[in-house]
Amino acid sequence: MTDTNQRHKERQQKVKEKVDAKVAQAQEERGVVLILTGNGKGKSTAGFGTVARAVGHGQNCAVAQFIKGNWACGERDLLAGHGVRFHVMATGFTWETQDKEADTAAAQEVWQQVKQELADPAVDLVLLDEITYMTNYGYLDLDEVVQAIADRPREQSVVITGRAAHRRLEELADTVSEVRPLKHAFEAGIKARKGVDW
């Protein structure tokens, strides 16, 4: 073995020891709260990817979409066909027409359904897509959302997506990832694309 190869092997061995020690330390088994936030593209995609992962294991999943009710959405069509329950704001929040009363009513309607999912021990995973806007704009009560997530069944996991996640949601979460935009096609005048953006 060459010297370089030997040094590489020793370094890798040290990395492996550290990783093994961490794996051995992680013994707690329970559901987690995952937040995907930030201004870059990929938050909802990753949220739906997590649902697809759970569905692949035969788990029981629900998705709440707090925006984009009437929009086409490839993952909704796919996952609904695999038994995932969707709770969608039929009317209400869009970027163009912000009518606080109508939006609040629409958000509350979805929230009533979400609360049942968050209280059901038979549910493995709940995706709350774009819920950060609902609490930031006061359409949903932040205390109530935090409480319902904190009180969920022990084995249930929750994924939250949306920009500017509130500090209290981040405190509650076990994993928080921020997607940072380095570049986006839209900035170069390229239209949002079916299969890529929705």
The contact set with ligand ATP (CB under 6 A) reads: 39-45, 161, 163, 179, 181, 184, 186, 192, 197
Residues 127 and 65: their CA atoms lie apart, in Å, by 8
Give the amino acid at 97: T
DSSP conformation letters of 124-178: -EEEEETHHHHHHTTSS-HHHHHHHHHTS-TT-EEEEE-SS--HHHHHH-SEEEE
Phi, psi at 158, each rounded to 5°: -130, 135
Interaction partner, residue 186 (Mg ion, ligand ATP, none; CB < 5-8 Å by kind):
ligand ATP
Nearer to ligand ATP, 9 or 186 (CB): 186
What are the structure tokens assigned to 109, written together? 């309607």
Q: Which does 41 bind (CB under 5 to 8 A by kind): ligand ATP, Mg ion, none?
A: ligand ATP
The entry of Mg ion, ligand ATP, none near residue 163 (CB within 5 to 8 angstroms by kind) is ligand ATP
Nearest CB to Mg ion, comparing residues 43 and 76: 43
Partner from Mg ion, ligand ATP, none binding residue 85, C-beta < 5-8 Å depending on class: none
Toward ligand ATP, which CB reaches closer, 9 or 184?
184
Kindly tell me which of 44 and 50 has the beta carbon lying closer to Mg ion: 44
Q: Which spans of this chain sit near Mg ion (rule: CB under 5 A)? A: 43-44
Q: How far is the CB of 74 from Mg ion (least distance, A)?
A: 13
49 CB-contact burial (10 Å; exposed 0-12 / middle 13-18 / buried 19+): middle
